[in-house]
Structure 1
Amino acid sequence: MELTQRQKIIFKTIVDEFTRCAEPVGSKTLMQLLDFPVSSATIRNEMVTLEKAGLLEKTHTSSGRVPSQKGYRYYVEHLMETNLDVQVKDALQEVFAQRHYSLDEVVDKSCEILSHMTNLTSIVLGPDSRSQKLAHVQLIPISERSAVGIIVTDQGHTENKVFDFGTEVSAQDIKTCMELMNDQLIGTPISEVVEKMKEIEPLMAAKVVRHEVLFEAFVTAFMRFATEKVKVSGRSNMLYQPEFSDLNKLKELMKVLESSSLFHQWTDQEDNVAIQIDNRNELIQIGDCSVLTTKFHYTNDEEGQLMVVGPNRMQYSKVIALMDYMSSVIEDVFTNKGGQKKNE
């Protein structure tokens, strides 16, 4: 069904008002919100038409209407206007321009900002590093018991980690260990580094006095580096959403948000409805929940995802505008001034 211009305006106003206040919207409220004269009876007739089209639903507790799942999809695809305040844009740029961030830090910071600014739950997925190969390892002693380790992949990803060895390790041991790993491990896929380290452990034991301490530290670091980077922030925001007042429903959602594997199962269910909003954004409807996702690139070949999870009643235009802009800012973090990706 093709909506008239008046029906589109009335429907958009209902969605905007309901996502703002979580109260069903009636004809009297709409008369005050619309910027053109129209009678209450006319509005009611248009609402009935929109309900028959499957875009609105009537609640049991009020004469007002609320958007349906189909209605939200129609709004996102045809009526949504995204715009981000200049002050918000400047603030986001300032946050990431303050200093050089590692991949993990960008993931963490992005997640915190998203949950804070949307009052919803945010999830950021970094790239899976397992397909990359080790290009370089550097160890820089900062005390007798600790060192900074720098791991670089063939695709330009750099991870910094402070190793607290818990005991004194000589500078010579650190130097020998670093030389050995660069000699034996360069070109090894990240997913295979731990197994390769086990193979060269006897060689390390023969050359490094405190080899067991250094070996354990690097095995742990590479295992963490090889896993998908997932950060979740703002779980408690769900407590303030009326749609999740059912404690059992909230508990189930919290379980999903605690586990990346459960989350993937949840978003990949057959009866979910997913629509591509543009070449970067997607909306997934899962029962009473919606998941908005936005892609961003670390390199030309690898991408991560920003996600916001909340009730179907969320302020889509605000959330998508924020995610879209933030993804661009994140990409800028991994871009040199000349416009080339860091791994190029």
Structure 2
Amino acid sequence: MLVLRAVIEDYIRTQEPVGSGALTRGHKLGVSSATVRNDMAALEDEGYLIQPHTSAGRIPTEKGYRYFVDKLATVVPLSKAQKRGIRSFLSGSVSLDDTLRRSAQLLAQITGQVAVVASPSLARSALRHIELVPVSTVTLLMVIITDTGRVEQRTIIVADRPGDAEIAAIGSHVNAISMGKSLRRASADVHASAQEEPAGTSRALIEAIAKVLDEMATQERTSNLYMAGTSQLAHGQSADMNVIAPLFDALEEQVVLMKLMTTLSEVTQSHGVGIAIGSETHTPGLLNASVVTSGYGQSTAGDEDDDATGSSATGSEPVAFVGSIGPTHMDYATTISAVRAVARYLTEVIANEEDPDADPDGAA
């Protein structure tokens, strides 16, 4: 296994087949070159290495990378200076969207790969406040603010709009029964409260609000994606267009990418992140690529009996993900450390959105 780790580390660094002589010279393995050759042959027989040409050295297989990531890779946490650099760069953001955009740019710079950051999903967010703003005699603007700092606007058209004082009272009533709940739970509770109202303008408006919340919960199953690093990956020293071209095609399929990275972020694997290598992505364009991702934030929305299946949120699910996509010979140690660091910072940001009085620099 020491030989396997040495082969993979050398191949990640050089992208050239690794021979026994280079391993003996470059690593203190404590054995002869002949023993290393025998070990490499055994690793090839077991499917961890492959010899691309008869006279060439060996390169890792997908199985080899998986074992390396799970058992052999040594991930060194980012230094305090690096963490301060991340915090300094991201703390200059003017909004949550700006923070997410900067996070993607920063992660791409650190790894030299494609960085993908998803905005917090409305479906996993808890409601903080709803504002009703009269716009015309038949139109209101409904502003929805979540605990993750996301702001959405929807237009409500009613045949007979209540007066301003009544609208304000309805807004207070809806906030009282919605605060801290998921969109779906809030929709159900608001709809139930409407049934207690006598037929009229107030009931019609409350039902319209419930409908908006339900539509948002139903339709919002994907988030905005912030992506960076495609150019530097394409022009990097190790760029292989046979690998890069299909990867770029896969990046265009954002729904597929969202599903893959969301699933990975929910299942923590090695080193506190989710990792899919090659065929594990179940995506044709990523057969020669690896994906490293981590969830950030934590859902606080109360979702008891959230859907017809009776599933409920436990509060342990991340609200979104941050990840890096690159060739299978990526520098896993650096990528894992960077993804974890950015995810932790974004979790702090989301926590501070939930608590406006929190100290943004209080977390380590």
- Normalising by the smaller structure, the TM-score range is 0.5 to 0.7
Question: How far apart are 1:306 and its partner, in Å?
Answer: 1.4
Determine the structure 2 residue equivalent to 1:110: 103
- What's the CA shift for 1:127? 2.8
Among residues 139, 144, 157, which one is paired with 2:148 in the alignment?
A: 157
Determine whether 1:56 maps to 2:22: no
| Cα gap change, 1:240 to 1:266, in 2 (>3 Å) | farther
Aligned to 1:145: none
Residue aligning to 2:294: 294
Q: What are the residue-to-residue correspondences of 1:187-266 with 2, within 5 Å?
A: 187=178, 226=220, 228-229=222-223, 230-240=225-235, 242=238, 244-246=240-242, 250-264=244-258
Deviations 1:272-298 (A, max 9, x none): 9xx953483111123211111112224
3-state secondary structure, aligned to 2:150: strand
- In structure 1, distance between residues paired with 2:342 and 2:261: 22
1:305 aligns with 2:321: yes
Does the CA contact (< 8 Å) of 2:121 and 2:220 recur in 1?
yes
SS at match of 1:335: helix
Residue 280 of structure 1: aligned partner? 272
Match of 2:79 in 1: 85
8 Å contact from structure 1 (residues 28, 40) kept in 2: yes
CA RMSD, Structure 1 to Structure 2 (Å): 4.5
1:250 to 1:279, Cα distance in 2 relative to 1, 3 A:
closer
Counterparts of 1:266 and 1:14 in 2: how far apart (Å)?
A: 29
* Matching residue's letter, 1:297: G
CA contact (8 A) 2:124 2:299 kept: no
Q: 1:252 to 1:184 in 2, by over 3 A?
A: farther
* Structure 1 unmatched ranges of 5 or more: 141-148, 163-174, 197-202, 204-217
Following TM superposition, by how much is the alpha carbon of 1:89 offset from its aligned partner in structure 2, in angstroms? 1.5
Give the C-alpha shift of residue 15 in structure 1: 1.0
2:93/2:102 contact within 8 Å kept:
no
Q: Is the 8 A contact 1:190 1:226 kept in 2?
A: no
Aligned to 1:211: none
In the alignment, structure 1 residue 332 sits paired with structure 2 residue 337: no
CA contact (8 A) 1:134 1:185 kept: no
Structure 1 residues 21 and 319: CA distance shift in structure 2, 3 A: same
Partner of 2:338: 322
For the structure 1 residues 295 and 61, does the alpha-carbon distance in structure 2 shift closer, same or farther, using more than 3 Å as the test?
A: farther
Q: Secondary structure at the match of 1:231?
A: strand
Distance verdict in 2 for CA 1:297–1:180, change over 3 Å:
same
- What is the CA distance between 1:261 and its match in structure 2? 1.3
- Spell out, residue by residue over 1:99-153, the C-alpha distance to the aligned partner (whole angstroms, 9 max, x if none): 6642x2332221111111101111112332035565435699xxxxxxxx97423
SS at match of 2:344: helix
Greater mean deviation of Cα atoms: 58-67 or 44-53 = 58-67
Shift of 1:313: 0.6
In structure 2, what is the equivalent of residue 43 of structure 1? 36
The separation in 2 between residues aligned to 1:181 and 1:113, in whole angstroms, is: 44
Residue 30 of structure 1, CA deviation: 1.2
Deviations 1:202-239 (A, max 9, x none): x9xxxxxxxxxxxxxx9xxx89x946332221122442
Larger CA deviation: 38-47 vs 74-83: 38-47
Contact 2:149 2:350 in 1 (8 A): no
Distance, in Å, in 1 between the alignment partners of 2:255 and 2:83 is 33
Percent identity (aligned): 22
Query: Structure 1 residues 294, 38: closer, same or farther in 2, change over 3 A?
Result: same
SS at match of 1:23: coil
What secondary structure does 2:341 align onto?
Answer: helix
In structure 2, how many angstroms separate the alpha carbons of the residues matched to 1:89 and 1:95? Answer: 10
Q: Answer whether contact 1:293 1:307 (CA < 8 A) is retained.
A: yes
SS in 1 for 2:250: helix
Query: Which residue identity lines up with residue 231 of structure 2 in the other structure?
Result: S
Q: How does 1:95-174 map to 2 (within 5 A)?
A: 95-98=89-92, 101-102=95-96, 104-130=97-123, 132=125, 134-137=127-130, 151-153=144-146, 156-159=147-150
Label 1:54 to 1:25 Cα distance change in 2 as closer, same or farther (>3 A). Answer: same
- What is residue 169 of structure 1 aligned with on the other side? none
